[in-house]
Each structure stands twice: as C-alpha cells, then as structure tokens.
Amino acid sequence: MTDIFTKSELDRRTLLRRAAAVGLLATPAVSMLSACVGGSDEGTQDQATGTKSADNPLGIDPKAGVEIVIFNGGLGTKYATDVDTPLFNKKWPEAKVTYSQTEEISTQIQPRINAGNPPDMINNSGSKLMDFGAIVKAGQAADLTDLFAAPSLDIAGKTVAETLVPGAVEQGTYDGKPFAVNYAYTVFGLWYNAALFKKNNWTPPATWAEFTALCDKIKAAGITPFGYAGANASYYMVRALLTSAGKIGTEQVLKDIDNLKEGAWTNDAVKQAAEAWAGIGKNYINKTFLGLRHTEVQLQQNQDKVAFYPCGSWLENEQAKDTPSGFEYAIAPYPSVTASDKLPATAINAAAGEIYFAAAKGKNPQGGKEYLRTMLSKEAALEFTKLTKSLTVVAGASDGVTISPGLTSANDAVAKAGKDVFMGYLFDTWYKKLDDESRAAANDLMFKDYDAAKFCERMEKASQAVAKDSAITKFTRS
C-alpha cells in the first residue's frame, strides 16, 4: 500500500469541479407530486427547536433526541455507530441518538414518511432506495442551505460548504436549493484480483478486442470471465453499459438520457455499447448469476471463480470479511468499445454519491442537519475512509493516510484519467420508473435475449413514457 492522497487531491478536486459544471438545475414541469409520497401538512408533529448561537448555528434543542436510519450495504454501518454518533454526543451529550439500519430503505422508511413520522436523518441508498425527486417535490426533505452555511465543526474559519470538494453541494441541489448530502466519492469500473492476474500474466484490457481475447483465456482457465448479480444488482450493469456509451459519444449522451430527450436511448453510442455488452453476456457470463444476490457473486470473485466484476469502490469494504489473504482488489476502466470512441480508454466514471438527507417533517429536522454537520467534519470523514475504504466529499480529509490496495488503485485510475473523468447519469435518482425498467432491461440483455436493438427500443419507450407523464415532476441537466 502506498500513500497517494496528496498527489491525487488535485485530480479529485478537478473531477468534482467538472461535476459542479454539470449544473443540476432542477425545474419542475408540473405541480403534481408523486402519489407514493405524502405532501400534505396534516398530522405534522411538534418539532424540536433551540436558540441559535455561535456554538449552535443550526439552533438545535441540545436535549432533543435524534433518530437516524443508515442503509446497511457496501459501506457498512460502523461509521455511524462507532464514529459519527460518538462525535455527535461528544458535543451534544444530552441528545440521545436512536439508530437503526436496514437493507430496504423504501420498505422501512417510505411508510413512515407517508404517515408523517419519519426519522430525522436518512441514508437513502441501495437497490430499494426511495424516489428522492418525489420526496423533494413533496416537501419531505429539509432545505440544507443553513447546514452548508454553518461553520465547520473542526476546520476553523470555514463554512461546511467551503470544506467540501467543488460540486458536492450542487450534486444534491434541486430547484436551486440543496436537499441532500452526497457523501461518498465513488469510482466505478471493472474490479479484479491483481494477484490472480499477475499469477497468470493477464493484463487488464484497454480495447474491446483485448477484453474478449482475455475473456477467452480466462474462460479456458476454468474461471467465469465476467459476472454480476441479476437478483438485486442489475444497476451495476446499467452503469457499465452507459459508461461505455459515454466513452463512445461523450457525457452528452448521458445528459440526453437524463433530460428525456427523444432518441437518446436509440442513438448509435448506446446501441454500440449495448451490442458490445450483449456479446459479453452471451459468451462469458454464468447464467445462474441471474438469480443470485450481489454478495453471492462477489464471494465467488473472492474465491477466484469470477475474474471481472462491475462495481463501485465500496466493493473492497463490503467484502472485507470474505476477502482471503493475498487477494488484491484493483480496478480497470471499462475498455474502449470502438476505435473511434470520443473519450480515451483511460476515461472513467466517478462521482460523489450516497444520499443522506434530513426529513423536513421529522421530530427534530435541525438535529438531523446537525448530525450531517458532524459527518462533514474532517475527523468524521477521515475515520469514514479508514473504516470503509471510501473517500468522502470533505476536501483533503484523508491526505497523508496510507490506504488499501483497492482504493489506491481507484485513485490511480482517477489520476490517469485526468480531465476524462465524468460523473455519469442522474435519471436513476430522478425517475424511479425509468431506473426500474433499465435494471430489468439490462438483465434481459445480458442473460436472456442478447438483443441490443430490443434493449434500446425498450428503454426509449420507457423514457418517452416518463417524458409524457404529467404526473411525474421533471428535472433538467445542462
């Protein structure tokens, strides 16, 4: 392991500066709210408040309890129980933090939001995350303007916003106001065991021809060349496919998809990416993976039964307990699909993500914001990285720290990509119906029919159905 944070910091800042330039200018197309999220004020509970001061900039009640719910996935939950909550109680010892975790956020939390009794701070993530665009439009997410304007807990002379990498606030902004903290900084690509590759003299591919040739060698060695879990992680495949489309035709391809532009899903870049990946599904994937969950396929990779796995940089931490000694996580960018791709083979998808928000109608929304302010302290961010092997949006929080092989590899990949790091797409958090359809369509493409044209036409139809549905609030990206 090597210390690479200092030399990569400029690259990380450059990346999120470019993410900020995306300009998430969300504009409501209609006034109707999603039927699944209650928007009325009936039954709103009394909310805890306190007196604002230099030491209490958000005006919380120092004795009021705070309820938080954390998604238990790739990042685990120890950062909340072992770091954030103790830090919060160090400053507010009389404020009891009630903690719970779940793998199904929408199942557990959506009914409480609808009933007007939500937790104060929620980590909205996972395969069953809630439709956050609908939550914002229903007035259920608290405006975080005061949080970002508040002073940092441990970086003197700076507001919370001023301690974050450029673009961090903008990525949680809707209709010109911030409603979410996108906390984790994630790098996406093809994950593999560097030790296995060294042993077999395999080199990660830069072109699609190299990719398929290597898959042939891996298959001949008795190892499944590529795999992902169809049961609950098909969105990993959606990101892989659309990252390839973005490399073929630039990020504008993905912006058009986000903006529901007619023909966005049937353009040549998406067609070429879908056709290339369909070939991987037809020839190099284990068909039983369609019914498996993510941890089951990831365990097979830890056992060197699967070579390449498409995922984000949370993978190393998620598999920590099952990763055998000598297994060395590493990441490779998705290889170029054509010789005329507009972005180079080194181009990579990385961005701030993992939504955390305060519930506007909770018992203690200001307490929820104060908990987020704790998370955005330098101390909390550093400990988060140590525990999860994932970076945060707190600028420089991990400088000078020696990190794991996987995260070192991810940072090196970002550094090599330079200006060719792109944020990706946003429709998956804006339009749940379209996200659900993309997951199902990706599974069919990779496990069943291998039909790129059918995939593109299916997604185009779904996209335009959303575009024409006046009950769905629209957002735009420039």
State whether 249 and 170 are in the same domain. Answer: no
Domains of the chain: total? 2
Question: What pTM value is reported for the model?
Answer: 0.73
Which of 363, 379, 408 is at the close of a domain?
408
Same domain, 273 and 137: no
pLDDT in tens, 75-89: 899 999 999 999 999
Residues 451 and 372 in one domain: no
216 and 163 together in one domain: no
Average pLDDT of every residue of the chain: 89
CA distances from 14 to 178, 289, 377, 423 (A): 21, 37, 21, 12
Alpha carbon distance 355, 180 (integer Å): 6
Say what percent of the chain tops pLDDT 90.
Answer: 73
Domain residues for 295?
187-350+426-468
Q: What does the pLDDT read at residue 38?
A: 53
Q: What is the identity of the amino acid at 398? A: S
Residues 179 and 249 in one domain: no
Tokens standing for residue 79: 């950062």
* pLDDT tens profile 337-375: 999 999 999 999 988 889 999 999 999 999 999 999 999
In a domain, residue 371? The reply is yes
- One domain, residues 181 and 191: no
Contact 237, 276 (CB under 8 A): no
Q: Is the pLDDT of residue 400 over 50?
A: yes
pLDDT single digits (tens) 114-139 = 999 999 999 999 888 998 988 999 99
> Do 135 and 210 lie in a common domain?
no
Of the two residues 152 and 29, the one the predictor is more confident about is 152
CA distance 313 to 392: 12
3-state secondary structure of 97: strand
Same domain, 26 and 167: yes
| Statement: residue 13 has pLDDT above 70 | no
Say what the pLDDT of residue 418 is: 85
Mean pLDDT is lowest, of 11-25, 207-221, 277-291, 318-332, for 11-25
10 Å CB burial of residue 235 (0-12, 13-18, 19+) is: middle
Look at residue 14 and tell me whether its pLDDT is greater than 50. Answer: no
Is residue 284 included in any domain, yes or no? yes
- The answer to whether residue 92 sits within a structural domain is yes
Confirm whether 474 is domain-assigned: no
Question: pLDDT category, 3, cuts 50, 70, 90?
Answer: very low
Q: 176-232 pLDDT, tens per residue?
A: 899 999 999 889 999 999 999 999 999 999 999 999 999 999 999 999 999 999 999
Higher-confidence position of 178 and 8: 178
246-276 confidence digits (pLDDT tens): 999 999 999 999 999 999 999 999 999 999 9
Q: Are the C-beta atoms of residues 407 and 191 closer than 8 Å to each other? A: no
- Please say whether the beta carbons of 146 and 49 come within 8 A: no
The pLDDT of residue 170 is 81
CA dist., res. 424 & res. 236, Å (int): 13
Residue 240 covered by a domain: yes
Q: Are residues 44 and 176 in the same domain?
A: yes
pLDDT score for 12 = 33
415 within a domain of the structure (yes/no): no
Q: Is residue 477 part of a domain?
A: no
What is the mean pLDDT of the segment spanning 409-418? 87
Query: What is the pLDDT at residue 44?
Result: 56
What is the pLDDT confidence band of residue 7, given thresholds at 50, 70 and 90? very low
Residue 429 banded pLDDT, cuts 50, 70, 90: confident
Confidence of residue 37 (pLDDT cuts 50, 70, 90): low
192 and 182 within one domain: no
Shared domain check, 96 and 131: yes
The pLDDT value given to residue 31: 29
Cβ atoms of 337 and 273 closer than 8 Å: yes
- CATH number, domain with residue 163: 3.40.190.10
- Say which residue, 157 or 398, is predicted with more confidence: 157
Residues 6+ apart with CB under 8 A from 37: 110, 113, 114, 130, 131, 134, 135, 137, 138, 140
pLDDT for res 19: 35
Q: Is 475 inside any structural domain? A: no
Is the same domain home to 161 and 126?
yes
